[in-house]
Structure 1
């Protein structure tokens, strides 16, 4: 009968093998346990806009799905570049940023130098939502629809103005796009965020604006603002009596904002995959759906690969528009 004899050599081999083997389940458990603390979702804009509604509804549901708090941190400034640059350099593995048509698809063509590389600094996580742009005016402006507004602008070139959340913002692009197709001239008044812009619009200090639906729907319904057109391809269920820009003489016109999650490129792929799955599910949860759909936002919840392809297509779309409108930073 053979007996097992533990020699010094075999003991050393076993001693070397066991720690390595025991590390595998520990590593797996650590991977599964991520995130290990609260996740900061940086929003590159001031509170009060469409970004706030999309970010907070998504963060609330991701908190439930991930088992750690996901909280919103507004960091406006520099057309979103301040926040984007900060997140690009973040190495704590618990920071995300709300990507946007302006910061990802437009700023690369406006600024000669950015504090981040939009192609290399981030991992796309998920396209969260698309938001139709609404063209609104102060309620005492003598224009009931887009046709009358354009006629007024052409009758008095340069006397009407429009506000935006800042140079290169989605609202800036949307109005420049409208000016381009309608051959009108209005003065641009940039603000530091959607909130301050809307305050002055409702106060009568500016005449018009192009704003994401979630940020202005309540003001339209209460009569504090008048919607003269929607940038969507079809009329919105929430505003069935408001025709689209396309219906009012500009076939094919469409202007939609969008928001998606990005993480620093240094985030491990496994963590990014976990965020992507949670984000895609979060925007489809009943509570999130209720918030977004009530504000005319369209939940998407894409995969990371789908979002990456979408970003590339948006950059190709807006590069010639920026060049033609000669949009420059402040």
Structure 2
């Protein structure tokens, strides 16, 4: 493929670029695209998750299209605490967040917004972040890209 990386400073300029034809394709978080999808302004070619999304059942994953290394790049919202925060405080925050994510009203609203939910505690999140950095560092290096 002859691909040129075009860096944008944020989602709004990237959406403008894809809409006005400055670029032919881009990778953006699903939540930024909900009102622009399929038959409106944009067409989704693939999702970067391990499984197809329930609200886009006809859109294959990147792995199903031959790029399994790109599967599992779901968008995540992480909540962080300052380094050195006492474990007891972190445990209390995690408990409150987990309870919130299990709340039927919260889950219903997120489903209406087509947001897939899952909860990861701080240790699991830290491991996921480290694995993600390692994976993308390899992809960036192998592609000869810079991280500016």
TM-score bracket, shorter-length normalisation: 0.7 to 0.9
Pair 1:263–1:233, CA change in 2 (3 A): same
| TM-fit CA distance, 1:208 | 0.9
- Counterpart Cα distance in 2 of 1:316 and 1:301: 22
| TM-fit CA distance, 1:216 | 0.8
2:38–2:44: 8 Å Cα contact kept in structure 1? no
**Which of 68, 75, 78 is residue 252 of structure 1 equivalent to?**
68
**Which of 20, 26, 36 is residue 209 of structure 1 equivalent to?**
26
1:238–1:296: 8 Å Cα contact kept in structure 2? yes
User: Which residue does 2:104 correspond to in 1?
Assistant: 286
Q: Deviations over 1:14-54 (max 9, x none)?
A: xxxxxxxxxxxxxxxxxxxxxxxxxxxxxxxxxxxxxxxxx
Pair 1:207–1:291, CA change in 2 (3 A): farther
- Structure with larger RCO (C-alpha < 8 A, sep 6+): 1
Q: Map residues 131-146 of structure 1 onto 2, 5 A cutoff.
A: none
- Counterpart Cα distance in 1 of 2:51 and 2:87: 38
**Which of 286, 295, 299 is residue 117 of structure 2 equivalent to?**
299
| TM-fit CA distance, 1:310 | 2.5
SS for the counterpart of 1:190 is coil
| TM-fit CA distance, 1:300 | 1.8
| TM-fit CA distance, 1:301 | 1.7
SS for the counterpart of 1:211 is coil
Paired residue total: 146
Q: Deviations over 1:107-137 (max 9, x none)?
A: xxxxxxxxxxxxxxxxxxxxxxxxxxxxxxx
User: Which residue does 2:86 correspond to in 1?
Assistant: 268
Q: Map residues 1-330 of structure 1 onto 2, 5 A cutoff.
A: 184-221=1-38, 223-248=40-65, 250=66, 252-253=68-69, 254=71, 255-330=73-148
TM-score of the aligned structures, taking structure 1 as reference length: 0.40
Q: CA RMSD in A?
A: 2.4
SS for the counterpart of 1:311 is helix
Q: Which structure 2 residue ranges, 5 or more long, are not aligned?
A: none
Bigger fraction of residues in strand: 1
| TM-fit CA distance, 1:220 | 0.5
User: Which residue does 1:111 correspond to in 2?
Assistant: none
Pair 1:326–1:271, CA change in 2 (3 A): same
Q: Which has the larger radius of gyration?
A: 1
Pair 1:305–1:326, CA change in 2 (3 A): same
SS for the counterpart of 1:230 is coil
Please identify runs of 4+ aligned residues in structure 1 that moved more than 4 A.
none
SS for the counterpart of 2:27 is strand
Q: Deviations over 1:250-284 (max 9, x none)?
A: 06351323332211113233222222212222233
1:214–1:292: 8 Å Cα contact kept in structure 2? no
